[in-house]
Amino acid sequence: MIELEAGLTTELPARLPVGYGNVIFLEGHCSHPEAELRGLEVLVDEVEHPVIAYAMPRADCPERSDRWWALIAFERVDRSRDATIGLRATLGNGQIATTVLADIQIEPGRAQRPPASGAAAHGESLIAICMATYRPPRGLFERQIASIRDQTFSNWVCLICDDGSGSRAVAEMQEVIGDDPRFRLSAHDRQLGFYGNFERALSLVPPEASCVALADQDDRWYPDKLEVLRSALDQNGANLAYSDMRIVSEEGELISETFWRYRANNFENIASLLIANTVTGAASLFRRELLDYALPLPPRRGGSFHDQWIAAVALALGTIAYVERPLYDYVQHPGAAHGFLKANKTGVERAQAGRLALPRRVLRKLRALISFRRPREPLIGPRPRREPAYFDLYMQTQLLARVLQLRCGPLMAADRRRAVNLLVGTESSPLGVAWLTARSLRPLLGGTETFARERKFLGAIAWRRTVRLRHRLRRAAARAAGGDPRGDPPVS
Specify if 52 maps to a domain: yes
Which pLDDT score, from 0 to 100, does residue 470 have?
82
List beta partners, residue 16. 106
Q: Per-residue pLDDT for 381 more than 50?
A: no
Q: Per-residue pLDDT for 162 more than 60?
A: yes
| Total domains, the chain | 3
Whether residue 52 sits in one domain with residue 149: no
Pick the closest to residue 331 from 221, 217, 259, 249 (CA basis). Answer: 249
Pick the closest to residue 461 from 421, 492, 488, 439 (CA basis). Answer: 492
Specify if 337 maps to a domain: yes
Whether residue 141 sits in one domain with residue 27: no
In the sheet that 5-8 helps form, which strands lie side by side, from edge to edge? Answer: 5-8, 22-31, 67-74, 53-56
Torsion sign (Cα): 82, 71, 16, 127? negative
List beta partners, residue 29. 7, 67
Q: What is the pLDDT of residues 237-247, one digit of tens each?
A: 999 999 999 99
Whether residue 98 sits in one domain with residue 150: no
Let me know: does 183 contact 158? Beta carbons within 8 Å: yes
Q: Per-residue pLDDT for 120 more than 70?
A: no
Which pLDDT score, from 0 to 100, does residue 476 have?
77
Whether residue 246 sits in one domain with residue 148: yes
Give me the mean pLDDT over the 419-425 stretch. 96
Q: What is the pLDDT of residues 66-99, one digit of tens each?
A: 999 999 999 999 999 999 999 999 998 889 999 9
Alpha-carbon span 315 to 291, nearest angstrom: 13
Give me the mean pLDDT over the 339-359 stretch. 51
Alpha-carbon span 47 to 163, nearest angstrom: 38
Whether residue 209 sits in one domain with residue 166: yes
- Sorted by sequence, the CB contacts under 8 Å of residue 408 that are 6+ apart come out as 20, 293, 313, 316, 317
User: From residue 111, how far is each of 20, 129, 268, 292 by CA, in Å?
Assistant: 12, 22, 32, 11
Whether residue 386 sits in one domain with residue 329: no
Q: Which amino acid is at 202?
A: L
Which pLDDT score, from 0 to 100, does residue 473 have?
82
Whether residue 210 sits in one domain with residue 172: yes
Alpha-carbon span 44 to 94, nearest angstrom: 22
Lowest mean pLDDT segment, chosen from 8-22, 320-334, 373-387: 373-387
Pick the closest to residue 73 from 98, 42, 96 (CA basis). Answer: 42
Whether residue 103 sits in one domain with residue 131: no
CATH code for position 83: 2.60.40.650
Pick the closest to residue 404 from 277, 267, 300, 298 (CA basis). Answer: 298
Specify if 333 maps to a domain: yes
Q: What is the pLDDT of residues 43-70, one digit of tens each?
A: 999 899 999 999 998 877 777 889 999 9
Structural domain boundaries, residue 413: 381-467
Alpha-carbon span 137 to 173, nearest angstrom: 10
Pick the closest to residue 276 from 455, 453, 483, 75 (CA basis). Answer: 453
Q: What is the pLDDT of residues 205-226, one digit of tens each?
A: 999 999 999 999 999 999 999 9
List beta partners, residue 330. 247
Confidence of residue 445 (pLDDT cuts 50, 70, 90): confident
- Sorted by sequence, the CB contacts under 8 Å of residue 473 that are 6+ apart come out as none
Whether residue 95 sits in one domain with residue 132: no
CATH code for position 333: 3.90.550.10
Whether residue 101 sits in one domain with residue 134: no
Specify if 369 maps to a domain: no
Whether residue 146 sits in one domain with residue 98: no
